[in-house]
């Protein structure tokens, strides 16, 4: 088996023609640029682009295959150099069973299946060209369609206060909205980790994924998974989620939840973090607070120790967030050592000390191990790494 790094939640900002796909994403997030960044700069062997339902994105993939730039694999996926792309879609569910909107990811095994899925979606969304569209269909019916096409169904950033399963969608249980038998994995999101999520018993059957939800090229791989696969493909990824035939998730790499922008409860108006049992904000007097992931999870906790033996979750700080490491330093490191995954996982500490100033090298070494001082985030503001 090979150890393959995978980031399964990457957006597209716009198509070749300039048509917007994810409005809030950078325009540089175009299909080919994503593949180049993931393969040649980040070192990702498997990625999920979750805007492939957009007809122009599908057309670009087919164009790349016809010209020989990409190759469609027999067991699912689109290969570019050392990286395989899985075609996915992010959708928003808000049916009669939901308390609030829920974002989910759906991955299809082939281009043809994604085209069929896109055609089905086009009759149920306002604009098939845009990302994260609300689907006017029940969550269970969406699950059924995904399974009918041989796809994978994964609730996204499940604890985030806005547009997520536990953040808004349900009171206590995913069964309030979904058929639990048709969920293949869950995505934790930036403000939670395996230890936190393992106190929720109904999640015991599902694999945990850590993904970037990248809205810019630089954010690709800020959280990712280390998978054990024979090779990168849709079929192999499916086996890894089930832990079958020797495939599996070897480790999850993510930012410490303290760095997430919704870790703590904060004032909706000014962003000040809530203290103790405050009912009004001490800065602006508002009584409206955005409930933090750490607070919400305590409401959901129903087991002290999970019976599931899960892979390690490594609190790793991305290169871009390490004090003293800017774009020029990252470029210098890449020229010397190749991809970011190589820098974070394989380059010897002595080599880093020989390349960088001692203080910067020591911070990078600590970042690889997750051994850094942090200031918690909340209310839409990311936490900070402290020197």
| Cα angle value 189/194/199 (rounded, 5°) | 110
Sequence-ordered list of residues with C-beta below 8 angstroms from that of 38, at least 6 positions apart, any chain: 7, 10, 44, 47, 83, 220, 221
The total number of structural domains that make up the chain: 1
Q: Please, which residues have CB within 8 angstroms of residue 67's CB and are 6 or more apart in sequence?
A: none
- Span 12-27, average pLDDT: 97
Instruction: Report whether 164 contacts 158 (CB < 8 A).
Output: yes
pLDDT tens, residue by residue, 284-332: 988 888 888 999 999 999 999 999 999 999 998 888 888 888 999 999 9
Q: Which pLDDT band holds residue 387 (cuts at 50, 70, 90)?
A: low
Express each pLDDT in 53-107 by its tens digit. 999 999 999 999 999 999 999 999 999 999 999 999 999 999 999 999 999 999 9
pLDDT in tens, 158-196: 999 989 999 999 999 999 999 999 999 999 998 899 999
In this structure, is residue 211 part of a structural domain?
yes
Phi, psi at 286, each rounded to 5°: -70, 145
Q: Residue 333 in contact with residue 272, Cβ under 8 Å?
A: no
**Do the domain assignments include residue 65?**
yes
Q: Which residues pair with 127 in a beta bridge?
A: none
Asked if residue 14 is part of any domain, the answer here is: yes
CA 248/CA 231 separation, integer angstroms: 12
142 — pLDDT class (breaks 50, 70, 90): very high
- What's the whole-number average pLDDT of the chain? 94
If residue 350 lies in a helix (H) or strand (E), which one and from where to where?
A: helix 349-355
- The SS3 of residue 135 is strand
**Residue 199's CATH number:** 3.20.20.140
The domain containing residue 244 runs over which residues? 2-256
For residue 163, being part of any structural domain is answered with: yes
The whole-model pTM stands at 0.94
Three-state DSSP class for residue 286? coil
Distances (CA, A) of 224 to 54, 149, 190, 291, 376: 24, 26, 11, 26, 21
Average of pLDDT values for 241-259?
94
Please give the share of the chain, as a percent, with pLDDT higher than 70.
100
Instruction: Give, for 102, the enclosing helix (H) or strand (E).
Output: strand 102-108
């Amino acid at each position: 088996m090979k150890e393959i790094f995978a980031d399964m939640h990457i957006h597209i900002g716009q198509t070749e023609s300039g048509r917007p796909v994810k409005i809030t994403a950078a325009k540089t997030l175009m299909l080919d640029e994503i593949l180049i960044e993931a393969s040649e700069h980040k070192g990702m062997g498997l990625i999920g682009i979750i805007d492939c339902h957009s007809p122009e994105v599908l057309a670009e993939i087919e164009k790349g295959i016809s010209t020989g730039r990409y190759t469609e694999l027999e067991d699912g996926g689109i290969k570019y150099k050392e990286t395989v792309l899985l075609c996915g879609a992010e959708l928003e569910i808000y049916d009669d069973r939901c308390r609030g909107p829920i974002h989910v990811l759906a991955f299809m095994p082939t281009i043809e299946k994604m085209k069929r899925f896109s055609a089905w979606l086009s009759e149920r969304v306002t604009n098939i060209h845009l990302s994260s569209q609300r689907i006017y269909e029940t969550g269970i019916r969406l699950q059924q369609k995904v399974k009918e096409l041989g796809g994978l169904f994964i609730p996204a950033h499940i604890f985030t206060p806005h547009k997520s399963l536990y953040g808004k969608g349900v009171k206590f249980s995913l069964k309030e909205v979904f058929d639990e038998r048709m969920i293949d994995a869950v995505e934790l999101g930036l403000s939670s980790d395996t230890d936190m999520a393992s106190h929720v018993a109904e999640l015991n059957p599902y694999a945990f994924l850590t993904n970037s939800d990248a809205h810019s090229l630089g954010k690709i791989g800020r959280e990712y998974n280390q998978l054990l696969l024979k090779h990168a493909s849709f079929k192999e990824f499916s086996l890894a989620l089930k832990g079958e035939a020797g495939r599996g998730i070897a480790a999850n790499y993510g930012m410490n939840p303290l760095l997430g922008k919704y870790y703590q409860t904060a004032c909706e108006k000014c962003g000040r973090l809530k203290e103790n049992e405050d009912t009004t904000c001490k800065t602006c007097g508002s009584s409206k607070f955005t409930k933090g992931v750490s607070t919400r999870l305590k409401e959901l906790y129903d087991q002290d120790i999970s019976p599931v033996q899960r892979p390690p979750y490594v609190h790793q700080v991305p290169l871009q967030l390490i004090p003293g490491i800017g774009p020029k330093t990252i470029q210098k490191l890449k020229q010397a050592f190749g991809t970011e995954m190589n820098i974070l996982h394989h380059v010897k500490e002595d080599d880093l000390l020989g390349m960088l100033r001692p203080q910067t090298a020591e911070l990078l070494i600590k970042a690889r191990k997750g051994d850094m001082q942090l200031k918690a985030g909340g209310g839409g503001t990311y936490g900070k790494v402290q020197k």
